[in-house]
Amino acid sequence: MSRSHAPALPDRARVEEAARWLSGRVVRTPVLNCPAIDRLAGARILLKAENLQTGGSYKMRGAMLAVGRLAAAGHTGVVAQSTGNHAVAVALAARRHGLAATVVLPVDAAPVKVARARAAGARVVLAGTTVEERLVAARQLAAADGHPLVDAYDHPDVVAGQGSASLELIEEAERGGTPLDALVVPVGGGGGVAGACLAAAGTPIEVYGVEPVGCDTLARSLAAGRPTPVVPAPTIADGLRPGCVGDLPFAVARDAVRGVVRVDDDAIAEAFRLLLLELKVLVEPSGAAGLAGALRLAGVPEGGRYGTVGVVLTGGNVEADLVARLATGPVADLARMEGVAA
């Protein structure tokens, strides 16, 4: 489903501009490394800990940039839809700039994300389980309120803002004397991986997206040559189930992304446990999917040529009971137990 009419393509300069504007407005999160994870991967893995970002995810970057510019233009409110993290980020950014915020979430959204959006002062509207249903509701609310819609994927400022996380990771790796050979980013609507492609433009870094098995809209879109919707399969990575990659992210990534790695829930759960028990870092399954993809990439022939791989840990908003179950037991049926937010 098209979410924009004529998306304007941002470039690396726009990501650099976004990073400058965001400096001091968002957290410059640390880049972490774990020898145990390096040994498993057979490569140096540098992890950008965006789970420690304000609002618990890298979505704060794009939301802060987009909402900040709308506030400067005189708008008094904003509307957004997402599975959770973008909504939380828009709510927080709106509060920071003194704007009203209405966010549309699926009826089976993770309770922690609903609660955080409300705590940030947003009006929360629950609508359906698919992105199409949320978009209908969000557009109706935007028209009724006279407020702009801050799209989670098809917005140049959102893509550029998300790209600033990858840009910081690239810069930190260079300063540390271990420049990246590859960069791995989980894919929902594609804003993060598109931003990574822009951040890596003009460098030899190869960018990979990671999608849960059965939620591989970017992989299918690349094969088809156009944005291609899927009926998302159940997965514990609730933030990676948008139904279709955004038009703008696809336009950026189609000729820039090196490939897409598909991972199942067992691989995501194992990556979650590695991050929790070896690195002592708590991420949500959608964020752990990036490490799962990097470990999967290390096991294929093209992965063997990468000495240093960067991974963006995109978020850390996860339910306490899911943490307990992922940390201690098998993942069979967990996706169905947690809901199937699209």
pLDDT tens for 168-177 read 999 999 999 9
> Three-state DSSP class for 141?
helix
Instruction: Return the amino acid letter for 132.
Output: E
What is the pLDDT at residue 300? 75
Task: Tell me the average pLDDT of the chain.
Answer: 92
Share of the chain above pLDDT 70, in %: 93
The answer for residues whose C-beta is within 8 angstroms of residue 259's C-beta and 6 or more apart is 208, 209, 302
Q: Is the pLDDT of residue 38 over 80?
A: yes
> Three-state DSSP class for 81?
strand
Q: How large is the average pLDDT for residues 198-227?
A: 97
In the sheet that holds 206-212, the strands lie side by side as: 31-32, 44-49, 308-313, 182-186, 206-212, 259-263
What is the pLDDT at residue 334? 47
CB atoms under 10 Å from CB of 302, counted, come to 13
The answer for residues whose C-beta is within 8 angstroms of residue 5's C-beta and 6 or more apart is none
Q: How confident is the model at residue 131 (pLDDT cuts 50, 70, 90)?
A: confident
What is the pLDDT at residue 289? 98
pTM over 0.85: yes
Q: Is the pLDDT of residue 201 over 50?
A: yes
What is the pLDDT at residue 329? 66
Q: Is the pLDDT of residue 8 over 70?
A: no
Rounded to 10 degrees, the C-alpha dihedral 38/316/135/207 comes to -20
CB atoms under 10 Å from CB of 342, counted, come to 22
Q: Is the pLDDT of residue 338 over 60?
A: no
Q: Is the pLDDT of residue 218 over 90?
A: yes
Q: How large is the average pLDDT for residues 185-212?
A: 97
Helices (H), the chain: 12-22, 35-41, 59-72, 85-97, 111-119, 131-145, 156-175, 191-200, 217-224, 247-253, 265-277, 285-298, 320-328, 334-338
What is the pLDDT at residue 340? 31
For the chain, state the CA radius of gyration: 18
Q: Rounded to whole angstroms, how far apart are CA atoms 141 and 260?
A: 35
Comparing 64-73, 107-116, 205-214, the range with the smallest average pLDDT is: 107-116
The answer for residues whose C-beta is within 8 angstroms of residue 220's C-beta and 6 or more apart is 228, 230
Tokens standing for 272?
A: 């979650």
Containing 206, the helix (H) or strand (E) segment is: strand 206-212
Of 215, 199, 206, 211, the closest CA to residue 293 belongs to 211
pLDDT digits (tens, 9 = 90+) for 244-294: 999 999 999 999 999 999 999 999 999 999 999 999 999 999 999 999 999
Containing 281, the helix (H) or strand (E) segment is: none
What is the pLDDT at residue 339? 34
What is the pLDDT at residue 303? 65
DSSP state letters, 3-32: --SSPPPP-HHHHHHHHHHHBTTB----EE
Q: Is the pLDDT of residue 42 over 80?
A: yes
Angle at 80 between CA 78 and CA 83, to 5 degrees: 155
What is the pLDDT at residue 192? 97
What is the pLDDT at residue 110? 87
Of 164, 145, 9, 148, the closest CA to residue 69 belongs to 148
Q: Rounded to whole angstroms, how far apart are CA atoms 179 and 135?
A: 40
